[in-house]
Structure 1
């Protein structure tokens, strides 16, 4: 019996809300996606970028970076952490102005779940 197994390639076929912790938008539509153990760069068109940035799951933390509010573990001292172990976890920086608002959003999500 031949059974075809579905192969899920995280690098090519990632699910934005499920697999990506944060992404950065670069020049000419180059977007850098950061997952748990990897990061992938893809060139996207303007419409695709607008769809991603308008998604309520992602919050703009600075001029070119959006974080997945469902993946945030902790926010402290201008940094957003994505794993429980702060010493070696992935993080990105956040402006002080946006830090307070993001904390509110994360707290609200945790109470809803």
Structure 2
């Protein structure tokens, strides 16, 4: 089991609202399974769990995350992220304000 502590810096592309760009993050990883929590773009704490597959410096993560509201009834959302070394990209399906997030994650 591996614990990872990091801070991510992000840029929200194609989105109109003003989002948080600094994301403290803690993760635990056991083989391909991941779980963690971070301070999200909407200034809330998000918890997530999922699966990570790596191919050399590339990685793909899928799972579920809390802390976002896409509608009045949504509290758990799908999670998808692609990584290359310490860089990442993730789509953001925010209803009327969709786009994607790109960023860099500094691991301690």
TM above 0.5: no
User: When the two structures are superposed, what TM-score results if normalisation uses the length of structure 1?
Assistant: 0.27
Please tell me whether Structure 1 or Structure 2 has the larger radius of gyration of its CA atoms.
1
Structure with greater strand percent: 2
TM-score when scaled to structure 2?
Answer: 0.28
